[in-house]
Copies of this chain bind each other. A is one copy, B any other.
Amino acid sequence: MSQSISNQESETENPGQVSIKDVARLADVSIATVSRCLNHPDRVRENTRARVQQAILKTGYSPNTLAQSFRRGKTQVIMVVLPSIGDPFFTEVMKGIRSVASSRGYSLLISETQFNTMTDDEIGAMVVSRQADGIVLLASMSPFGTEVLSSKSHQALPIVIGCENITPDLAGFPSVRIDNVAAAREATDYLIALGHRKIAFIHGQMSSLLTRERERGYRASMRAADLPIEDRWVVEGKLSIQGAIQATRKLLNHDHNPTAIFCANDEMAMGCIHEIKSSGLKIPKDISIIGFDDIRYAEILDPPLTTIRQPAEKIGERVMHRLLLEVEAGRSRNGQVEIVPHELIIRESTGPGNV
């Protein structure tokens, strides 16, 4: 009992991290056995396991994740690249991503592109240096970014794309999204069915393929109904409330105004509604507004917003699910595009066109 003199390991004394060695010494086994207790408990005898358990408790040992990651070559971290966590839509997608991730023991490293391509470098670094086991890409990327992603020179990290339409250079990557063209078309069709003929389209940054797809849907719908599109009806603003306000202002400052506006997402619709109301027009009496995404604010806007609902959380879940399939099962990348259903939610921001 009266053990050694100076060098007792006893309790919480030493500041240096307690390692597997300390446990091994205390339990009087080899470090291999301790490791096995943790990773393959079935391969070690009941008896020993208990002793090791004791030692672990007594020493307060917990594995050094850094060493584990290093050794195993896996980090249990998934990187998520998105335009902005501020957007309520992405928040919702993140919810799905997070729930799957954390149920499977993964942490999330989040990188915002802030609608520009500045983080390409960051992403490149990530891919190359494998700080993450996989990447969820919710943003469109610059050509450079996509190049480094798909580069074969580094053993490729698994990537799954969510929400965004994939650019030609990213073809081959699995993805999960709605059919943006069809959805936008449905939205526009609805406005037309209400009797509107002069329909504008407000969208954000052109860099995003996604909004371009929505524009395509809009144009397709108009063409199908034989309705003309004036150039000034399609207006680009910064993808923010302020951007939408300015875009709307441009739209209203003329005679021959549109009687309906299709906003490429709900956040822009919020700015749009605000600007229209402060210009004295009534919604939907004078002008109808339709949005896209169905964020949580959509239904409490005044008036409540008619919009296209994306199953945001479900998209997040599916994306993560498929990513983990590649990460864990090493499943070879099957570039299948998974289309999830959208839904037109009719509220009160749209009304009959006064024809």
Contact = CB atoms under 8 A, between A and B. Distances in A.
A107 B129 contact: no
A75 B66 contact: yes
A85 interface: yes
Interface stretch (A22-30, A134-142, A148-156, A163-171): A148-156
B60 A130 contact: no
Interface string A204-245: 000000000000000000000000000000000000010001
A302 interface: yes
A26 to B, nearest CB: 16
- Which residue of A66, A102, A131, A153 has the most chain B CB atoms within 10 A of its CB atom? A66
A128 B67 contact: no
The number of times this chain is found in the oligomer is 2
A64 interface: yes
B297 A270 contact: yes
Contact of A241 (B62, B109, B297): B297
Interface residues of A, number: 50
Interface stretch (A39-47, A86-94, A286-294, A319-327): A86-94
Interface string A284-317: 0000000000001100101000000000000000
Contact of A66 (B70, B112, B154, B271): B70
A335 interface: no
Contact of A129 (B62, B75, B95, B110): B62
Nearest to A242: B296
B129 A64 contact: yes
A285 to B, nearest CB: 16
Closest 4 CB pairs of A and B: A70-B70, A65-B129, A86-B91, A274-B300
